[in-house]
Structure 1
């Protein structure tokens, strides 16, 4: 079997994405998509175009800087479009692209799951905390 050059390995990696590899671009994309604000912004935009100020109100707790960074990243990745309408004041609208709409369905499902199952998660956390040692580490079963 011939040895592959670095260029050949890079080309093969482009063809065979593996998100478990840190150097794979899909790993980096998953990192972006797993960001809380990305998920919430995409879910908010799934109902239609929103102005920056409307998004800021809908995403309670997000700072203006983080909202701007999130929207720029989504625009760069081709998930969101930004439309500037010259007026006084300037109007800026954000909307999902077809690519973003496909992602929105998945992220809305995750959001619904979190809202539906939070009570179970809270109960599991309480059980875990009650079973933990006083130093905050979980008790390990004796058979391990």
Structure 2
């Protein structure tokens, strides 16, 4: 489960829904630059299956579908925010460690 919740796109989707509430597929795709339709669909299905987001279909013409965090998904907002803040604070150290590792292992 951690590999799914901790995936780049899952974190970004949940962050977007946590900050802005219910979103349509196209809104999510626009705000999450670089994600393909296929990857967004897979990510949304996984999060829905895990009970972290709710998919609501409105029987209108045209049909409207919105995604939002469930109460369970809301409980992850704090931990995900902390992870994001940690990443921001330590990105330079991580990049430096990666470069040093790559230099050592190339020989």
Q: TM-score normalized by structure 2?
A: 0.84
Structure of larger gyration radius: 1
Q: TM-score normalized by structure 1?
A: 0.65
| 1:1-144 mapped onto 2 (5 Å cutoff) | 29-47=1-19, 48-130=21-103, 132=104, 136=106
Runs of 4+ in 1 over 3 A off after TM superposition: 126-130
Larger RCO, structures 1/2 (Cα 8 Å, 6+ apart): 2
5+ residue gaps, structure 2, are none
Instruction: Note the aligned Cα RMSD (angstroms).
Output: 1.8
Deviation string, structure 1 residues 48-105 (Cα, Å, up to 9, x no partner): 1111111111222111111111111111111100111233332211100110000122
Of Structure 1 and Structure 2, which has the larger fraction of its residues in helix?
A: 2
